[in-house]
Structure 1
Amino acid sequence: MFWPFRRPTYTDGEIDLVETYQLDGDIDNNFVPSICYDIKLHNSGKKVGRCDLRIGMNKDLYLVGNIGYNVTKEHRGHRYAYKACKILFDLAKNKYCMDDLIITCNPDNIASRKTCEFLDGELLEIINVPMGHWLRNQGDHEKCIYKYIL
């Protein structure tokens, strides 16, 4: 497929974050603007995962986080999530003027907890997800809440 424009791409020299789409915020529905990216091996076009940056903060984002990431099973163990987060930290600070952000994960997700710890986040708390919250409805009962000063 021919793209008539170049999608914004950010790199650390090992991976590229290629913007795939943006979601506008919706104050009435408590949504903040979000930018979604494919994580690709640098200059190869090989997709190894995806990530997103949610800009701003509200009550829901405290449980969900400003950054989400997922690396495909066959590409785990190379710290691609860590590298993607470092690029997103830079974008959050320098492009979107954020001073800090939150990343959350389930306490039993050891790989994600290691990523959050390797990023030098402060574990604020492990919190029970409230009954009726959409995260609980999808099976998440607890969240580790990590804070990062940019």
Structure 2
Amino acid sequence: MQLKDYDIICGNEIDIKMVSKSVGNLVKKRSPEYKFHVLLHGSDKSIGHINLRFGNNEKIINYIGHIGYGIDENYRGNKYSVKACELLKVVLLDYKIEKVIITCNPDNYPSRNTCELIGANLLEIIEIPKNSDAYSETETKKCRYEWLL
């Protein structure tokens, strides 16, 4: 898969800046992926990240999702994850992606709230099989949300 380059995608309060892209590795079962820093608008101050994974393998669809995000603790509570997802739509629409899966732990209420605020629908809460590399003592279940663009 040929991945495009992106400059800074600007919003009102935050921007996202591509910091890396990977075409993936079939041998290591890694899918193509973009990694973006979440920046305070008009600055180089990184306050978190948002990643986009391509593909529909079992691990992505069930356990890690197409989109992953995190905001540094000092900047939480400002809906920056919601705003970062909205900015990531530029990339999703560029690739003509109409739906993505976002996952989170059932007890991660801020992430669940992010999914609900962007309009994603909870599909189910599933158990992660113990033989999956997505499984850990603290990650045994996942909420699966579907975001239709």
Provide the TM-score with structure 2 as the length reference: 0.90
User: Residues 51-83 of structure 1, C-alpha deviation per residue, up to 9 Å, x if partnerless?
Assistant: 101122211101110000010000000000000
Using the TM superposition, give the Cα deviation of residue 138 of structure 1 relative to its aligned residue in structure 2, in angstroms.
Answer: 5.9
Q: CA deviation at 1:139?
A: 2.6
- Counterpart amino acid of residue 55 in structure 2: G
Question: Structure 1 residues 138, 95: CA separation in 2 closer, same or farther (over 3 Å shift)?
Answer: farther
Identity %: 34
Alpha-carbon spacing, 1:124–1:7, altered in 2? closer, same or farther (3 Å): closer
Q: Which runs of 5+ in 2 are unaligned?
A: none
Other-structure match for 1:3: none
> Which string of whole-angstrom CA distances, capped at 9 and with x for unpartnered residues, describes residues 56-113 of structure 1?
2211101110000010000000000000011113311x22221210000000011111
1:29 lines up with 2:28 in the alignment: yes
Aligned counterparts of 2:6 and 2:117: Cα–Cα separation in 1: 29
After TM superposition, give the deviation of residue 46 of structure 1 in Å. 1.6
User: Superposition pairs for residues 72-111 of structure 1, below 5 Å?
Assistant: 72-92=72-92, 94-111=93-110
CA distance in 2, matches of 1:80, 1:74: 12
User: What is the match of residue 61 of structure 1?
Assistant: 60
Give the secondary-structure state (helix, strand or coil) at the position aligned to 2:85.
helix
Give the equivalent residue in structure 1 for 2:119: 120
Q: C-alpha deviations, 1:27-56, integer Å up to 9, x for none?
A: 333322100011001102221111101122
How far apart, CA to CA, are the structure 1 residues paired with 2:73 and 2:119?
24
> 5+ unaligned residues in a row in structure 1: which ranges?
1-5
The corresponding residue for 2:8 is 9
The answer to whether the Cα contact below 8 Å between 2:68 and 2:102 also exists between their aligned partners in 1 is yes
The answer on whether the counterparts of 1:21 and 1:35 sit within 8 Å (CA) in structure 2 is yes
Partner of 2:70: 70
**Contact 2:59–2:134 under 8 Å retained in 1:** no
Give me the CA root mean square deviation: 1.6
Partner of 2:16: helix, strand, or coil? Answer: strand
1:52 partner amino acid: N
| CA–CA distance in structure 2, aligned partners of residues 90 and 8 of structure 1 | 11
Runs of 4+ in 1 over 6 A off after TM superposition: none
TM-score, normalised to structure 1, is 0.89
Q: How many residues align?
A: 144
